[in-house]
Structure 1
Amino acid sequence: MKRLFFALEVPDFEKCAITLWREKTLPTLTSSVITDNLHLTLCFLGNTDIEIEQNLIAKLNHIHAQKIDLSFTKIGYFKKPKVLYIQPNKVPEHLLYLVQQLNEIALSEGGVLNYLDYKPHITVARKTSDHSHIILSPDIKIQFTDIVLYHSQCTKNGLRYRKLRNWPLN
Protein backbone atom coordinates (compact mmCIF):
# COMPACT_ATOMS: atom_id res chain seq x y z
CA MET A 1 0.00 0.00 0.00
CA LYS A 2 1.11 3.53 -0.76
CA ARG A 3 0.42 6.68 1.24
CA LEU A 4 -1.06 8.98 -1.44
CA PHE A 5 -2.43 12.48 -1.81
CA PHE A 6 -3.55 14.87 -4.54
CA ALA A 7 -1.88 18.27 -4.60
CA LEU A 8 -1.16 21.28 -6.73
CA GLU A 9 2.46 21.27 -7.83
CA VAL A 10 4.44 24.39 -6.96
CA PRO A 11 6.60 25.35 -9.99
CA ASP A 12 10.37 25.27 -9.41
CA PHE A 13 10.85 29.06 -9.56
CA GLU A 14 8.23 29.60 -6.86
CA LYS A 15 9.65 26.75 -4.77
CA CYS A 16 12.93 28.66 -4.75
CA ALA A 17 11.13 31.92 -3.90
CA ILE A 18 9.43 30.26 -0.91
CA THR A 19 12.71 28.77 0.26
CA LEU A 20 14.53 32.11 -0.06
CA TRP A 21 11.76 33.91 1.84
CA ARG A 22 11.87 31.28 4.60
CA GLU A 23 15.68 31.41 4.88
CA LYS A 24 15.68 35.21 5.00
CA THR A 25 12.80 35.46 7.46
CA LEU A 26 13.64 32.52 9.73
CA PRO A 27 17.38 31.84 9.35
CA THR A 28 17.57 29.68 12.50
CA LEU A 29 14.68 27.39 11.57
CA THR A 30 15.84 23.77 11.75
CA SER A 31 12.71 21.91 10.71
CA SER A 32 12.12 23.29 7.23
CA VAL A 33 10.28 21.32 4.58
CA ILE A 34 12.77 20.57 1.81
CA THR A 35 12.29 22.63 -1.33
CA ASP A 36 11.37 19.64 -3.50
CA ASN A 37 8.50 18.74 -1.12
CA LEU A 38 6.69 22.10 -1.32
CA HIS A 39 3.12 21.64 -2.59
CA LEU A 40 -0.48 22.62 -1.89
CA THR A 41 -2.50 19.61 -0.73
CA LEU A 42 -5.93 19.17 -2.29
CA CYS A 43 -7.04 15.80 -0.93
CA PHE A 44 -5.29 13.33 1.37
CA LEU A 45 -5.94 9.71 0.39
CA GLY A 46 -3.89 7.83 2.99
CA ASN A 47 -2.77 4.23 2.56
CA THR A 48 -4.06 3.12 -0.81
CA ASP A 49 -3.80 -0.23 -2.56
CA ILE A 50 -2.89 -0.52 -6.24
CA GLU A 51 -6.45 -1.25 -7.43
CA ILE A 52 -7.85 1.88 -5.80
CA GLU A 53 -4.87 3.89 -7.06
CA GLN A 54 -5.63 2.77 -10.63
CA ASN A 55 -9.34 3.59 -10.20
CA LEU A 56 -8.48 7.07 -8.93
CA ILE A 57 -6.15 7.66 -11.88
CA ALA A 58 -8.86 6.56 -14.33
CA LYS A 59 -11.38 8.95 -12.75
CA LEU A 60 -8.93 11.86 -12.72
CA ASN A 61 -8.43 11.40 -16.45
CA HIS A 62 -11.96 12.83 -16.84
CA ILE A 63 -11.68 15.80 -14.51
CA HIS A 64 -11.67 19.30 -15.97
CA ALA A 65 -10.49 22.27 -13.96
CA GLN A 66 -8.95 25.62 -14.71
CA LYS A 67 -5.53 26.92 -13.73
CA ILE A 68 -5.41 28.41 -10.25
CA ASP A 69 -3.72 31.72 -9.42
CA LEU A 70 -2.95 32.39 -5.76
CA SER A 71 -1.06 35.14 -3.94
CA PHE A 72 0.57 33.92 -0.75
CA THR A 73 0.74 36.88 1.62
CA LYS A 74 -0.13 35.39 5.01
CA ILE A 75 1.59 33.17 7.55
CA GLY A 76 -0.22 30.65 9.73
CA TYR A 77 0.42 27.97 12.30
CA PHE A 78 -1.39 24.73 13.13
CA LYS A 79 -0.76 24.06 16.83
CA LYS A 80 -1.60 20.36 16.96
CA PRO A 81 0.82 19.17 14.27
CA LYS A 82 3.17 22.16 14.95
CA VAL A 83 3.16 23.23 11.29
CA LEU A 84 4.17 26.66 9.99
CA TYR A 85 2.64 27.53 6.62
CA ILE A 86 1.98 30.26 4.11
CA GLN A 87 -1.53 30.85 2.85
CA PRO A 88 -3.19 32.82 0.08
CA ASN A 89 -4.96 36.10 0.76
CA LYS A 90 -8.01 34.95 -1.26
CA VAL A 91 -9.34 31.51 -2.12
CA PRO A 92 -11.09 31.25 -5.49
CA GLU A 93 -14.31 29.26 -5.71
CA HIS A 94 -12.92 27.04 -8.46
CA LEU A 95 -10.19 25.83 -6.06
CA LEU A 96 -12.80 24.86 -3.47
CA TYR A 97 -14.85 23.16 -6.18
CA LEU A 98 -11.80 21.17 -7.32
CA VAL A 99 -11.15 20.06 -3.73
CA GLN A 100 -14.78 18.99 -3.43
CA GLN A 101 -14.58 17.01 -6.69
CA LEU A 102 -11.40 15.22 -5.60
CA ASN A 103 -12.90 14.34 -2.23
CA GLU A 104 -16.00 12.95 -3.92
CA ILE A 105 -13.80 10.82 -6.16
CA ALA A 106 -11.87 9.60 -3.10
CA LEU A 107 -15.15 8.86 -1.29
CA SER A 108 -16.37 6.81 -4.25
CA GLU A 109 -13.32 4.60 -3.74
CA GLY A 110 -13.85 4.18 0.00
CA GLY A 111 -11.86 7.19 1.18
CA VAL A 112 -12.83 9.60 3.93
CA LEU A 113 -14.24 13.09 3.51
CA ASN A 114 -11.60 15.69 4.39
CA TYR A 115 -12.55 18.95 2.71
CA LEU A 116 -15.09 20.42 5.14
CA ASP A 117 -12.39 22.38 7.00
CA TYR A 118 -10.17 22.82 3.95
CA LYS A 119 -7.63 25.61 4.35
CA PRO A 120 -5.30 25.93 1.35
CA HIS A 121 -1.70 26.37 2.43
CA ILE A 122 1.89 25.41 1.71
CA THR A 123 3.72 23.93 4.69
CA VAL A 124 7.15 25.52 5.13
CA ALA A 125 8.20 23.87 8.44
CA ARG A 126 7.10 20.96 10.63
CA LYS A 127 7.60 20.22 14.30
CA THR A 128 8.31 23.86 15.03
CA SER A 129 7.11 26.55 17.39
CA ASP A 130 4.71 29.30 16.34
CA HIS A 131 6.56 31.79 14.14
CA SER A 132 3.41 33.22 12.57
CA HIS A 133 4.05 36.56 14.30
CA ILE A 134 7.07 37.33 12.10
CA ILE A 135 7.06 40.73 10.46
CA LEU A 136 8.20 39.91 6.91
CA SER A 137 5.16 38.27 5.32
CA PRO A 138 5.58 36.46 2.03
CA ASP A 139 4.51 38.03 -1.25
CA ILE A 140 4.62 35.10 -3.62
CA LYS A 141 2.30 34.69 -6.59
CA ILE A 142 1.85 31.21 -8.00
CA GLN A 143 -0.04 29.94 -11.01
CA PHE A 144 -0.80 26.27 -10.47
CA THR A 145 -1.02 24.37 -13.74
CA ASP A 146 -1.10 20.72 -12.64
CA ILE A 147 -2.87 18.39 -10.26
CA VAL A 148 -0.40 15.77 -9.07
CA LEU A 149 -0.83 12.39 -7.42
CA TYR A 150 2.02 12.11 -4.91
CA HIS A 151 3.37 9.12 -3.00
CA SER A 152 4.59 10.09 0.47
CA GLN A 153 7.63 7.97 1.30
CA CYS A 154 9.52 7.79 4.59
CA THR A 155 13.24 7.57 3.89
CA LYS A 156 16.30 7.67 6.14
CA ASN A 157 16.61 11.33 5.09
CA GLY A 158 13.01 12.17 5.99
CA LEU A 159 9.79 12.42 4.01
CA ARG A 160 10.00 12.52 0.23
CA TYR A 161 7.08 13.13 -2.10
CA ARG A 162 7.37 11.23 -5.36
CA LYS A 163 5.22 12.34 -8.27
CA LEU A 164 3.28 9.38 -9.68
CA ARG A 165 1.04 11.13 -12.18
CA ASN A 166 -0.08 14.60 -13.15
CA TRP A 167 -3.06 16.16 -14.91
CA PRO A 168 -2.81 19.60 -16.52
CA LEU A 169 -5.28 22.28 -15.56
CA ASN A 170 -6.91 24.20 -18.45
Structure 2
Amino acid sequence: MAQDTRSTASPFKRLFFALPVSDAQRRDVSQWRRSLALRSGRPVPAANFHITLAFLGNVDAAQVPSVCAAVDQLLLPDKAPRLVLDRLQVWHRAGALVLEAQHTPAPLLQLVYGLQQALLPLGIAVADRTFRPHLTLSRDFHGQPPEASTPPEFFVSARECVLYESRKGAYQPLARWALGDGGAFISPLGSHR
Protein backbone atom coordinates (compact mmCIF):
# COMPACT_ATOMS: atom_id res chain seq x y z
CA MET A 1 0.00 0.00 0.00
CA ALA A 2 1.37 3.41 -0.97
CA GLN A 3 1.94 5.92 1.76
CA ASP A 4 0.63 9.45 1.57
CA THR A 5 3.74 11.61 1.20
CA ARG A 6 2.01 15.01 1.06
CA SER A 7 2.59 17.54 3.77
CA THR A 8 -0.29 17.58 6.20
CA ALA A 9 -0.68 21.29 5.49
CA SER A 10 -1.39 20.61 1.80
CA PRO A 11 -5.13 20.84 1.01
CA PHE A 12 -6.61 17.87 -0.81
CA LYS A 13 -9.88 16.84 -2.37
CA ARG A 14 -11.45 13.37 -2.40
CA LEU A 15 -12.28 12.93 -6.08
CA PHE A 16 -14.00 10.51 -8.43
CA PHE A 17 -15.33 10.46 -11.99
CA ALA A 18 -18.91 9.27 -12.44
CA LEU A 19 -21.97 9.24 -14.63
CA PRO A 20 -24.70 11.33 -13.02
CA VAL A 21 -28.22 10.00 -12.67
CA SER A 22 -31.10 12.24 -13.75
CA ASP A 23 -33.68 13.48 -11.25
CA ALA A 24 -36.35 11.26 -12.84
CA GLN A 25 -34.07 8.22 -12.58
CA ARG A 26 -33.30 9.06 -8.95
CA ARG A 27 -37.00 9.16 -8.16
CA ASP A 28 -37.65 5.86 -9.97
CA VAL A 29 -34.75 4.04 -8.32
CA SER A 30 -35.61 5.47 -4.90
CA GLN A 31 -39.25 4.40 -5.24
CA TRP A 32 -38.21 0.91 -6.37
CA ARG A 33 -35.77 0.67 -3.43
CA ARG A 34 -38.59 1.56 -1.01
CA SER A 35 -40.59 -1.37 -2.38
CA LEU A 36 -37.78 -3.70 -1.22
CA ALA A 37 -38.55 -2.85 2.43
CA LEU A 38 -34.87 -3.08 3.39
CA ARG A 39 -34.12 -4.16 6.95
CA SER A 40 -30.36 -3.89 6.77
CA GLY A 41 -27.88 -1.18 5.90
CA ARG A 42 -27.93 2.59 5.50
CA PRO A 43 -29.79 3.76 2.37
CA VAL A 44 -27.72 6.03 0.13
CA PRO A 45 -29.49 9.39 -0.29
CA ALA A 46 -31.07 9.59 -3.74
CA ALA A 47 -29.17 12.86 -4.32
CA ASN A 48 -25.94 10.82 -4.20
CA PHE A 49 -26.96 8.21 -6.81
CA HIS A 50 -24.30 7.94 -9.52
CA ILE A 51 -22.27 5.37 -11.45
CA THR A 52 -18.59 5.56 -10.55
CA LEU A 53 -16.16 5.41 -13.47
CA ALA A 54 -12.89 5.99 -11.62
CA PHE A 55 -12.18 6.67 -7.94
CA LEU A 56 -9.14 8.91 -7.51
CA GLY A 57 -9.12 9.18 -3.72
CA ASN A 58 -7.34 12.10 -2.06
CA VAL A 59 -5.80 14.40 -4.65
CA ASP A 60 -3.83 17.56 -3.95
CA ALA A 61 -6.18 20.48 -4.67
CA ALA A 62 -3.47 22.08 -6.82
CA GLN A 63 -3.71 19.10 -9.20
CA VAL A 64 -7.40 19.57 -10.05
CA PRO A 65 -6.68 21.84 -13.08
CA SER A 66 -4.20 19.23 -14.40
CA VAL A 67 -6.75 16.45 -13.93
CA CYS A 68 -9.32 18.47 -15.91
CA ALA A 69 -6.78 19.32 -18.63
CA ALA A 70 -5.87 15.63 -18.97
CA VAL A 71 -9.53 14.71 -19.51
CA ASP A 72 -9.91 17.58 -21.99
CA GLN A 73 -7.38 15.71 -24.18
CA LEU A 74 -9.32 12.42 -24.15
CA LEU A 75 -11.20 11.19 -27.17
CA LEU A 76 -14.63 10.85 -25.58
CA PRO A 77 -17.43 8.67 -26.99
CA ASP A 78 -19.24 10.38 -29.86
CA LYS A 79 -22.48 8.63 -28.88
CA ALA A 80 -23.85 8.62 -25.35
CA PRO A 81 -23.36 5.04 -24.05
CA ARG A 82 -26.57 3.46 -22.80
CA LEU A 83 -26.33 1.33 -19.68
CA VAL A 84 -29.00 -0.95 -18.20
CA LEU A 85 -28.93 -1.53 -14.45
CA ASP A 86 -30.74 -4.85 -14.30
CA ARG A 87 -29.33 -6.95 -11.49
CA LEU A 88 -29.65 -6.54 -7.72
CA GLN A 89 -26.52 -7.76 -5.91
CA VAL A 90 -24.87 -7.64 -2.52
CA TRP A 91 -21.17 -6.89 -2.54
CA HIS A 92 -20.33 -8.66 0.71
CA ARG A 93 -16.75 -7.43 0.94
CA ALA A 94 -17.84 -3.80 0.56
CA GLY A 95 -21.05 -4.31 2.53
CA ALA A 96 -23.11 -2.72 -0.23
CA LEU A 97 -26.41 -3.43 -1.90
CA VAL A 98 -26.06 -2.40 -5.54
CA LEU A 99 -27.84 -2.30 -8.86
CA GLU A 100 -25.43 -3.71 -11.43
CA ALA A 101 -25.33 -3.83 -15.20
CA GLN A 102 -25.10 -7.36 -16.59
CA HIS A 103 -23.53 -5.95 -19.76
CA THR A 104 -21.15 -3.03 -20.09
CA PRO A 105 -21.14 -1.11 -23.39
CA ALA A 106 -17.70 -1.03 -25.06
CA PRO A 107 -17.64 2.82 -25.25
CA LEU A 108 -18.04 2.95 -21.47
CA LEU A 109 -15.15 0.52 -20.96
CA GLN A 110 -13.04 2.65 -23.32
CA LEU A 111 -13.92 5.78 -21.34
CA VAL A 112 -12.88 4.16 -18.05
CA TYR A 113 -9.61 2.95 -19.57
CA GLY A 114 -8.99 6.39 -21.09
CA LEU A 115 -9.51 8.08 -17.71
CA GLN A 116 -7.09 5.66 -16.04
CA GLN A 117 -4.42 6.26 -18.70
CA ALA A 118 -4.89 10.05 -18.69
CA LEU A 119 -4.26 10.21 -14.93
CA LEU A 120 -1.10 8.09 -14.86
CA PRO A 121 1.27 10.90 -15.99
CA LEU A 122 -0.08 12.96 -13.07
CA GLY A 123 0.93 10.26 -10.61
CA ILE A 124 -2.69 9.39 -9.89
CA ALA A 125 -3.23 5.65 -10.03
CA VAL A 126 -6.86 4.58 -10.14
CA ALA A 127 -7.56 1.37 -8.22
CA ASP A 128 -6.72 -1.59 -10.45
CA ARG A 129 -10.10 -3.35 -10.38
CA THR A 130 -12.34 -4.71 -13.05
CA PHE A 131 -14.88 -2.01 -13.90
CA ARG A 132 -18.34 -3.12 -12.76
CA PRO A 133 -20.89 -0.39 -13.46
CA HIS A 134 -23.24 -0.11 -10.52
CA LEU A 135 -25.38 2.21 -8.46
CA THR A 136 -25.09 1.80 -4.69
CA LEU A 137 -28.49 1.57 -2.98
CA SER A 138 -27.37 0.90 0.60
CA ARG A 139 -24.13 0.76 2.60
CA ASP A 140 -23.34 -1.50 5.58
CA PHE A 141 -25.69 -4.05 4.05
CA HIS A 142 -25.46 -7.66 5.23
CA GLY A 143 -27.32 -10.71 4.06
CA GLN A 144 -28.75 -11.78 0.74
CA PRO A 145 -30.33 -9.53 -1.89
CA PRO A 146 -33.98 -8.92 -1.01
CA GLU A 147 -36.74 -10.25 -3.21
CA ALA A 148 -38.01 -7.64 -5.64
CA SER A 149 -41.65 -7.76 -6.71
CA THR A 150 -40.61 -5.92 -9.89
CA PRO A 151 -37.26 -6.90 -11.46
CA PRO A 152 -34.83 -4.00 -11.80
CA GLU A 153 -34.44 -2.47 -15.25
CA PHE A 154 -33.18 1.08 -15.16
CA PHE A 155 -31.79 2.68 -18.32
CA VAL A 156 -29.02 5.23 -17.90
CA SER A 157 -28.06 7.27 -20.93
CA ALA A 158 -24.52 8.41 -20.18
CA ARG A 159 -24.67 11.94 -21.59
CA GLU A 160 -21.87 13.34 -19.48
CA CYS A 161 -18.90 12.42 -17.36
CA VAL A 162 -18.53 14.41 -14.15
CA LEU A 163 -15.59 14.98 -11.82
CA TYR A 164 -17.01 15.01 -8.29
CA GLU A 165 -15.57 15.95 -4.95
CA SER A 166 -16.84 13.96 -1.97
CA ARG A 167 -17.24 16.32 0.95
CA LYS A 168 -19.04 15.58 4.22
CA GLY A 169 -21.32 12.97 2.70
CA ALA A 170 -22.30 15.10 -0.30
CA TYR A 171 -20.95 14.99 -3.85
CA GLN A 172 -20.07 18.33 -5.45
CA PRO A 173 -19.55 18.44 -9.24
CA LEU A 174 -16.28 20.17 -10.14
CA ALA A 175 -16.29 19.72 -13.94
CA ARG A 176 -18.40 18.07 -16.66
CA TRP A 177 -17.69 16.67 -20.12
CA ALA A 178 -20.33 15.80 -22.72
CA LEU A 179 -20.46 12.24 -24.00
CA GLY A 180 -21.81 12.25 -27.51
CA ASP A 181 -21.82 15.06 -30.05
CA GLY A 182 -18.04 15.20 -30.05
CA GLY A 183 -17.48 14.98 -26.31
CA ALA A 184 -17.06 18.71 -25.77
CA PHE A 185 -16.11 20.13 -22.41
CA ILE A 186 -19.31 21.47 -20.88
CA SER A 187 -18.33 23.60 -17.91
CA PRO A 188 -15.62 23.87 -15.33
CA LEU A 189 -17.94 24.67 -12.39
CA GLY A 190 -14.85 26.38 -11.06
CA SER A 191 -12.03 27.57 -13.28
CA HIS A 192 -9.47 25.10 -14.56
CA ARG A 193 -8.37 26.78 -17.78
The TM-score, its normalising length taken from structure 2, stands at 0.80
Which of the numbers 82, 87, 110 marks the counterpart of 2:123? Answer: 110
Which of the numbers 100, 110, 116 marks the counterpart of 2:113? Answer: 100
CA distance 1:5–1:113, change in 2 (3 Å): closer
SS at match of 1:89: coil
Distance 1:135 1:15 in 2: 18
- TM-superposition CA deviations, 1:59-108 (whole Å, max 9, x none): 21232223111111101111122011001131111111110001111222
- TM-superposition CA deviations, 1:27-70 (whole Å, max 9, x none): 54551100110000000111111232110101212322231111
* Conservation of the 8 A alpha-carbon contact between 2:35 and 2:148: no
CA distance 1:87–1:29, change in 2 (3 Å): same
Number of residue pairs aligned between Structure 1 and Structure 2: 166
SS at match of 2:148: coil
Q: Which residue of 2 aligns with 1:162?
A: 172
Q: Which residue of 2 aligns with 1:25?
A: 36
SS at match of 2:43: coil
Distance 1:20 1:28 in 2: 16
* Conservation of the 8 A alpha-carbon contact between 1:100 and 1:115: no
Q: Which residue of 2 aligns with 1:2?
A: 13
Which of the numbers 138, 150, 157 marks the counterpart of 1:143? Answer: 157
**Correspondence 1:72-83 to 2 at 5 A:** 72-83=85-96
| Identity in percent | 27
Distance 1:130 1:153 in 2: 29
SS at match of 2:51: strand
5+ residue gaps, structure 2: 1-11, 181-193
Q: Please say if 1:50 is aligned against 2:64.
A: no
Distance 2:88 2:146 in 1: 8
Root-mean-square deviation over aligned CA pairs? 1.6
CA distance 1:96–1:10, change in 2 (3 Å): same
Letter in structure 1 aligned against 2:53: L
Deviation at 1:135, TM superposition (A): 3.5
Letter in structure 1 aligned against 2:173: K
Identify the range of structure 1 (140-149 vs 112-121) with the bigger mean alpha-carbon deviation: 112-121
SS at match of 1:54: helix
The TM-score, its normalising length taken from structure 1, stands at 0.90
Deviation at 1:113, TM superposition (A): 3.8
5+ residue gaps, structure 1: none
State which structure, 1 or 2, has the greater radius of gyration over its C-alpha atoms.
2
Q: Which residue of 2 aligns with 1:38?
A: 49
* Conservation of the 8 A alpha-carbon contact between 1:84 and 1:130: no
* Conservation of the 8 A alpha-carbon contact between 1:43 and 1:115: no
